Structure 1
Amino acid sequence: MKNNVMRRMLSVSLAAAMVVSLSACGPKETEQAEKQEMDVTLDQIKLGEDYTDIEADLKFLTHKTDVVDTTFKGYIEEFQKLYPNINIEYEGITDYANDITTRLTTGDWGDICMVPTNVDKDELGNYFTKLGDKGALAENYEENMLNNFAYQDAVYGVPSMANVQGVIYNKAVFEEAGITELPKTPDEFLDALEAIKEKTDAIPLYTNFAAGWTMTAWDAYIDGGATGDPDFANTGLTKGKDPFADRGDGTGPYAVYNTLYEAVKRGLTEDDPTTTDWEGSKGRLNNGEIGCMALGSWSVIQIQQAGSNADDIGYMTFPITVDGKQYAAAGPDYNYGINCNSSRDNQIAAMCYIKWLVEESGFAQGEGGLSIVKGDEYPEALQALEGIELVVNNPAASGEENLFNDINNDSELGINVSGAVPTQIVEEAVSGSKTMEELSAEWNEKWTAAQESNGVEF
C-alpha cells in the first residue's frame, strides 16, 4: 500500500516542480502589444463621478472559478449602474498559478488579472499599469498591504483583500474530542489531533495534498506568525543563516514544518494523501468528518457555506507561542493588476472596476477576509482573533526587492509558490526515508548556496 501511495505522490511532486519564475520566461517582445503610457491613477478616480461615459470591453482572468457565474455576475450588474458602458467578461482558470505565468508573457491576455506571486518587482512595469504612488494610495488603503507589488514607491497591484494565516477547524469535533482550549504550541496541537483520532471518527488533520496549491498554506506560517517579527522574512529568511534549522523553542520555520511532518508520521492525517479532494473536503469539514485544515482565512466562508453546520466552523491562529504571546501572519491575498498593453480607455475602465471592487463590492468581507480600506471592520468569522497581534511582513530594503525571489528560485524550494517543501514533508513522512533533521539540513544547504550565489554574506 505504501509503495502505491509513494508512486502517486511522485507525480504530484513533479507537477509542483514545474512551477517556474515568470522572470525566467521573460517577456516575449515580438508577441507583446504596444505598451500604453498612463497619466491616471487609482487615487485620482471618484467612483460614480469620473469617466461615467467611458466605453470598454474588459476581460478579467481569475482563479475564483466557483463564483464567475454567481457572485461576479452580481458585481458586474451593480457596477454597471455607475458605469453602464463598461462590459466585463470573467475567465475562470483552474490551474491559475501555472497558466497565468505563461499567458502574461504574450502581453495579449486580457485587461485585469490576479497578479502571480513570482513576478520580480523590477519587472512589474513591463506587465502591469502603475496604479499610483504608495503614499497617495495609503491615504485610503492600509499601507502595509501595498508592499507586495510595489517597486520604488510605485504600486502595480492592489489587494483584493487581506488574509490571516491560521487553521480552520470544526468546533463540534474539537468538543467531542474533549479539547476545551485551543492549542497554542505545536505539541499542544499534535496532542489535540491525537485526541480527535482516539475519541472521534473524524480525520484529525486533512492535508489536501493532491490539490498541490493548498500545500503553500504551510509556507505562509513560517515568518511573522512563527516568530512575531515583521522583519524575519527579510533578515531571518532571505539573509539569515540556516533559517530552516531547529530553533529549539518551538518557533520559526522548523516548528511549522515539523508540525506537518509529525502529524503525517503519527497517522493523524488521511490514509492516502494522493486521494485527497479539495472540493469534497469543504463539506466534510462542515459536517464533522474532518477535524481541521491548514488554510488562510479566505476559506472560512467557503467551508461555512459547504453544508448545514456553519456555526460549527471556527478559525484559530497557527499554534505557535513566542515568549508567551501568540501572533498571526497577515498579508494580502491575490492583487488586482491591469495589463499595461491594454488601450488607454480599457486601463481607465479597469481602474474604475478595481476601485469599486476594493471599496464598494464587499468582496473581502464576503470571503471572510480583511478589507484593505482603512476603517473597515473585521468580518464576523475572524472576530475570534481579536487580541492576537497580526504581523505583516515589512518590505525589503531598497535594492533588495528581488532578493527573496532570486534566492527562492535558485534554491528550488518554491516557498509560497510551488509548495515544494510541504509536499516533500508529506512524502518523506509517509515513506519514513528522511527525518525532519535531514530535511531541514537539505533545505539549508540549498538555501545557503542560493544566498551565496546572490551575494548574501554572513
Structure 2
Amino acid sequence: MKNPFLTVVAAATLAAVTLTACSDPGAGDAGEPATASDWPAQDADLNGITLTVWAAQNSNKVPESVVSAFESSTGATVDVVTIPDPYEQSVQTKVATGDKPDLAFWQPTASQLTALNARTNLQPLDGAPWLDSYSGDLRGITGILDETRYAALITTPAVEGVYYNKQVFEQAGITETPANWDEFLAVARKLKGENVTPFFDFGAGTPWATQWWVQVQLADAAKDGLWERVNQNQEKFTDPTIQKAIDSYQGLIEEGLFNQNLKTATFEDQGAALLAGEAAMAIQVNSFFGQLQSLADTDELNEKIGFFPISPSGNVGTFIPDQSNALVAFRTGDAEREAAARQLLSFWLGDGYAGFVEAQSTVSLQDAVPTPAGVPQALLDVHASLGDAVGSMQALAVANPDLYLNLGDLIQGTKTSQEVAEATQAQFAELAKAIGTEGF
C-alpha cells in the first residue's frame, strides 16, 4: 500500500515545484545548501552570541528545556520572543519589513514555506547531521520546498481529530468511539439530549480551530484529489464539496451542539472546559494537547482524555504539520549567528533531544531516543493515526487562505456560509495568481 506520508510530500512538493517554475516569489541569490561540514559541533563555544527564537502563544514554552541546556553547554544566550496571534500573518509582516529572528517556529508545509519566501529568507538545512536520525518516513514527511529542506521537524506532525472526555462518554453510556461522521453526530445529539454540551469551539480573538471542522469533513475528498483540483482551478471552495462542509459546520452551530459562549470563548477556555467535563468533545490538533498538559498530569489525562480521528466514512485523520512542530533558521546576513542557529538545531535534535521529549512528555521522532514512559495515551494515539492520515489544505494546497477568519465571521454572524466560501475562494485565487500558479 502506498505510504500516505509520501503521498502528502509528493503532492506538496509537486505543487511547490510547479509554482516555482512559473514565478518564484523568492527568486534571487539563494546560496548553496548547507553541507555536513557547515554544521558546527553541538557544543562549540558561543560565548557572546545571542540568538532570537520567535514563537507563537501556544509554542513559546516548548523551547525551555532545550534553551537552558544549550546555554549551559555553549555559553550562548537564547531569547524566545512571543509573536502575537495571528502568528503566521504577524511573522510574515515583520519579515517583509526586514525584521528577522535567527530561528522561528513555522508550519513546514510547502505553501507556508513559499509564503515566507524560503529561498530568500531561510537557510537551507540539507546535509544536517540529524536527518538520518528520524524514524521511518518522518525524514521526508514535510519541511521541503523545491527539493530543498528548510524546516526541522521536532515533534509529531499535527493531526486534526477529536479529543474527548472519557468520563463524560462513560456517564452517558457511550462505550465505543464513533466510527464515522454520522456516528460522531449521533453521539453529539445523544449527549445534547442528556443536557451535555457536545462540542467546544472558540470564536473570539483568532478562531484558528474553526477550520478543522471543515477540513476533517474533506478527508475523503482529499484522498480523491480535491486539493490537486483546487490547485489547478478545476474545483473551488464555492463548489459543492467544500461548500457543503462549511454549510454543515454552520448547521451544527445552529442546532445548538456547541458551547453557549461560542462567540466569546478563547483557546484557553477550550482545554479547561474539556478537562472539567463542561463539554464532551473538541476537534483540535496536537498543540491543543500541550494546553491540556499544562493543566493536568499524565495520570489525570489518561483517566479523562481520549483521542480518535474522524472523517466522513471512517476514522481517518487529517494531517497538518503546524508551527509548533517545526523550526526554520533565517538568513540574517550575520554568518556567525547563522552558524549558531544551525548549531542550536543540531543540539535540539542531537544531544538535547532526549531531554526535550522528556520535558515535553511527547513522542520521540527518533529510534535511538525512546518515547518517555509518561507520554499520555491520547498523544500516542495521535501519533499512531499518522499512518493513514490524509493531507489537509495546508499540506496539499498551493496557498493557505484565511478560511478560519472567515469561519470566525460566520460564528459572529457577519458572514453567511456562502460568503465564507466566496471570500476564501477569492483570496485563494489571489494568492495562487500572485505566486504564478498556472490556471489563475
Normalising by the smaller structure, the TM-score range is 0.7 to 0.9
1:320 alignment counterpart: 312
Deviation of residue 102 (structure 1)?
1.8
Matching of residue 292 in structure 1 with residue 277 in structure 2: no
Identify if the C-alpha distance between structure 1 residues 196 and 169 changes in structure 2 by more than 3 Å, giving closer, same or farther. Answer: same
Write out per-residue CA displacement over residues 95-144 of structure 1, whole angstroms, 9 at most, x where no aligned residue. Answer: 2233212211233432111236645269212111111169x875334666
Matching of residue 125 in structure 1 with residue 119 in structure 2: yes
Q: How much is the aligned-residue C-alpha RMSD, in angstroms?
A: 4.2
1:420 alignment counterpart: 405
Separation in structure 2 between the aligned mates of residue 276 and residue 132 of structure 1, nearest angstrom? 42
Deviation of residue 79 (structure 1)?
2.0
Query: Per the alignment, in what secondary structure is the counterpart of residue 179 of structure 1?
Result: coil
Within the candidate set 105, 115, 121, 1:114 is matched to 105
Identity across aligned pairs (percent)? Answer: 17
Within the candidate set 184, 190, 208, 2:202 is matched to 208
Listed as ranges, the gaps of 5+ residues in structure 2 are 1-24
Identify if the C-alpha distance between structure 1 residues 395 and 448 changes in structure 2 by more than 3 Å, giving closer, same or farther. Answer: closer
- Are the aligned partners of 1:209 and 1:276 in contact in 2 as well (CA < 8 Å)? yes
Separation in structure 1 between the aligned mates of residue 437 and residue 105 of structure 2, nearest angstrom? 31
2:389 alignment counterpart: 391
Deviation of residue 194 (structure 1)?
1.5
Identify if the C-alpha distance between structure 1 residues 233 and 154 changes in structure 2 by more than 3 Å, giving closer, same or farther. Answer: farther
Query: Per the alignment, in what secondary structure is the counterpart of residue 203 of structure 1?
Result: coil
Deviation of residue 156 (structure 1)?
1.6
Write out per-residue CA displacement over residues 165-223 of structure 1, whole angstroms, 9 at most, x where no aligned residue. Answer: 211111111222222221232222222111222214x4211111113223243455365
- Are the aligned partners of 1:302 and 1:367 in contact in 2 as well (CA < 8 Å)? no
Matching of residue 62 in structure 1 with residue 58 in structure 2: no
Query: Per the alignment, in what secondary structure is the counterpart of residue 303 of structure 1?
Result: helix
Amino acid at match of 2:353: S
What aligned pairs does 1:439-454 form with structure 2 within 5 A after superposition? 442=422, 446=426
Within the candidate set 184, 190, 198, 1:189 is matched to 184
What aligned pairs does 1:35-54 form with structure 2 within 5 A after superposition? 40-41=34-35, 45=39, 48=42, 51-52=44-45
Identify if the C-alpha distance between structure 1 residues 77 and 132 changes in structure 2 by more than 3 Å, giving closer, same or farther. Answer: same
Amino acid at match of 2:208: W
Deviation of residue 286 (structure 1)?
0.7
Question: What is the count of residue pairs matched by the alignment?
Answer: 394
2:92 alignment counterpart: 101
Matching of residue 177 in structure 1 with residue 175 in structure 2: no
Separation in structure 2 between the aligned mates of residue 46 and residue 298 of structure 1, nearest angstrom? 31
Separation in structure 2 between the aligned mates of residue 283 and residue 395 of structure 1, nearest angstrom? 28
Identify if the C-alpha distance between structure 1 residues 128 and 351 changes in structure 2 by more than 3 Å, giving closer, same or farther. Answer: same
Separation in structure 2 between the aligned mates of residue 440 and residue 404 of structure 1, nearest angstrom? 19
2:4 alignment counterpart: none
Identify if the C-alpha distance between structure 1 residues 160 and 113 changes in structure 2 by more than 3 Å, giving closer, same or farther. Answer: same
Matching of residue 90 in structure 1 with residue 101 in structure 2: no
> Higher relative contact order at CA 8 Å, sep ≥6: structure 1 or structure 2?
2
2:5 alignment counterpart: none
Amino acid at match of 1:101: Q
Query: Per the alignment, in what secondary structure is the counterpart of residue 209 of structure 2?
Result: helix
Separation in structure 1 between the aligned mates of residue 421 and residue 330 of structure 2, nearest angstrom? 42
Identify if the C-alpha distance between structure 1 residues 305 and 90 changes in structure 2 by more than 3 Å, giving closer, same or farther. Answer: closer
- Are the aligned partners of 1:304 and 1:313 in contact in 2 as well (CA < 8 Å)? no
Deviates more, 1:348-357 or 1:38-47: 38-47
Within the candidate set 371, 392, 398, 1:404 is matched to 398
What aligned pairs does 1:10-25 form with structure 2 within 5 A after superposition? none
Identify if the C-alpha distance between structure 1 residues 56 and 219 changes in structure 2 by more than 3 Å, giving closer, same or farther. Answer: farther
Amino acid at match of 1:237: V
- Are the aligned partners of 1:226 and 1:253 in contact in 2 as well (CA < 8 Å)? no
Write out per-residue CA displacement over residues 386-408 of structure 1, whole angstroms, 9 at most, x where no aligned residue. Answer: 47743354999xxxx99722xx5
Listed as ranges, the gaps of 5+ residues in structure 1 are 1-25, 30-34
- Are the aligned partners of 1:205 and 1:291 in contact in 2 as well (CA < 8 Å)? yes
Identify if the C-alpha distance between structure 1 residues 245 and 59 changes in structure 2 by more than 3 Å, giving closer, same or farther. Answer: closer
Deviation of residue 295 (structure 1)?
0.9
Amino acid at match of 2:80: Y
Amino acid at match of 2:204: A
Separation in structure 1 between the aligned mates of residue 35 and residue 426 of structure 2, nearest angstrom? 41
Separation in structure 2 between the aligned mates of residue 234 and residue 457 of structure 1, nearest angstrom? 14
Identify if the C-alpha distance between structure 1 residues 353 and 149 changes in structure 2 by more than 3 Å, giving closer, same or farther. Answer: same
Identify if the C-alpha distance between structure 1 residues 109 and 152 changes in structure 2 by more than 3 Å, giving closer, same or farther. Answer: closer
Separation in structure 2 between the aligned mates of residue 99 and residue 271 of structure 1, nearest angstrom? 30
Deviation of residue 312 (structure 1)?
0.3
Separation in structure 2 between the aligned mates of residue 93 and residue 108 of structure 1, nearest angstrom? 12
Write out per-residue CA displacement over residues 385-432 of structure 1, whole angstroms, 9 at most, x where no aligned residue. Answer: 547743354999xxxx99722xx5xxxx524xxx1343344356xx8x
Deviation of residue 287 (structure 1)?
1.1
From the two aligned structures, give the one with the greater strand fraction.
Answer: 1
- Are the aligned partners of 1:297 and 1:368 in contact in 2 as well (CA < 8 Å)? no
1:12 alignment counterpart: none
1:361 alignment counterpart: 353
Query: Per the alignment, in what secondary structure is the counterpart of residue 67 of structure 2?
Result: helix
- Are the aligned partners of 1:228 and 1:327 in contact in 2 as well (CA < 8 Å)? no
- Are the aligned partners of 1:59 and 1:90 in contact in 2 as well (CA < 8 Å)? yes
- Are the aligned partners of 1:127 and 1:340 in contact in 2 as well (CA < 8 Å)? yes
Identify if the C-alpha distance between structure 1 residues 448 and 46 changes in structure 2 by more than 3 Å, giving closer, same or farther. Answer: closer
Identify if the C-alpha distance between structure 1 residues 159 and 232 changes in structure 2 by more than 3 Å, giving closer, same or farther. Answer: farther
Separation in structure 2 between the aligned mates of residue 190 and residue 98 of structure 1, nearest angstrom? 34
Matching of residue 271 in structure 1 with residue 256 in structure 2: no
